[in-house]
Amino acid sequence: MPYSQRPTLTQFLIEERRKHPEARGQLNALILDVANACKAIAKVVARGELAHPVGSRHSSATVNVQGEVQKPLDVISNEVFIQTTEWGGNLAGLASEEMETSYPVPGKYPRGDYLLVFDPLDGSSNIDVNVSVGSIFSILRAPETIDETINDQDFLQTGRNQVAAGYAIYGPTTMLVLTVGTGVHGFTLDSDLGEFKLTHQFIKVAEDTQEFAINASNSRFWEAPIKRYVDECLAGTAGPRGQDFNMRWVASMVAEAHRILMRGGVFMYPRDNKDPSKPGRLRLLYEASPIAMIMEQAGGRASTGNVAIQDVQPTELHQRIALIFGSKNEVERIERYHQERNYDDEIESSPLFAARGLFRD
């Protein structure tokens, strides 16, 4: 498509709205507010160390609700999201990975129909080494009762309830990847115009792949199905898969998801026994659910290993979860390995098949 014919994000959203004459335009306006927040964050990220006064980079560090050190850009990005979206009359409340509780829209602004959930700067630990980072967001419907103040419980909706989801990636170019339930589309920021323009239409994840991403330093803590899958990939052409695989690990969710959307692959941050009290490392609402919607809309799959991410009922605002996503056939293979493991465990625990002997402890 010639550059002059590429629609802007605004034009794309107007066309989508025309398919729903009953729509009031709040969703479009909210997505455009989010896009403006991402533009502002892209500018700050692009400045790198120039964005900090000399000697200030570490002095302002704080700890967020996750017990993680917040970098100054985490705090700045969080504020940008709030200030850019709260005033427009499209939102009833927001929830952020960087805030302990949800944030009802102040009474001085009109209350809207939607809730915004976001990770304002995913992968911020990579900024120091100039690796791509990003912002992830999810849009849910707010409760219809307008007399009550929004609270944490209102955000505890399954991924199937998402109205839209997306991410911005701040790399060599800034891109906004978005789904409103009609496929996944990518918009590249034209810095001269200050507009996102449609450059990737109906993105599809390859069903098969020869590439996987996982933090191999945790291998000693993995559960058996993950060990099996990775071992088979590493065995290459001589192994049961009969082909060679490449391994990637960026440690930036947005960068991992974007690579998989562009060329296929599978990402794994599985549950392990490093800390048995935690069912996973990644956040269900701020990371897993929006990425899961994007992947499914692009023909991929996202799972805990046992159940589809979008079917998980959240129980708390900052709930952690295992996350496996990407090329559909590989994710389904990993799920099958988990099912076989669960079946084997069930057999082993059955009295009929229990180990027997003359001597018991």
What confidence tier does 53 reach under pLDDT thresholds 50, 70, 90?
low
- Phi, psi (5° rounding) for residue 136? -120, 140
3-state helix, strand, coil in the chain (%, to 5): 40, 20, 40
pTM above 0.85, yes or no: yes
Residue 59 has pLDDT above 50, yes or no: no
Please report the pLDDT score of residue 350 as a whole number.
47
Report the candidate in 164, 160, 114 with the shortest Cα–Cα distance to residue 138. 164
Q: Does residue 89 come out as left (phi exceeding 0), alpha (psi in the -120 to 50 range) or beta?
A: left
Please report the pLDDT score of residue 24 as a whole number.
79
- Percentage with pLDDT > 70 across the chain: 87
What is the set of domains in the chain, with CATH numbers?
A: 3-200 (3.30.540.10), 211-349 (3.40.190.80)
Model pLDDT for residues 265-321, shown as the tens digit of each residue: 999 999 999 888 888 999 999 999 999 999 999 999 999 999 999 999 999 999 999
Measured CA to CA, the distance from residue 93 to residue 285 in angstroms comes to 14
Judged on CB neighbours under 10 Å (0-12, 13-18, 19+), 360 is exposed
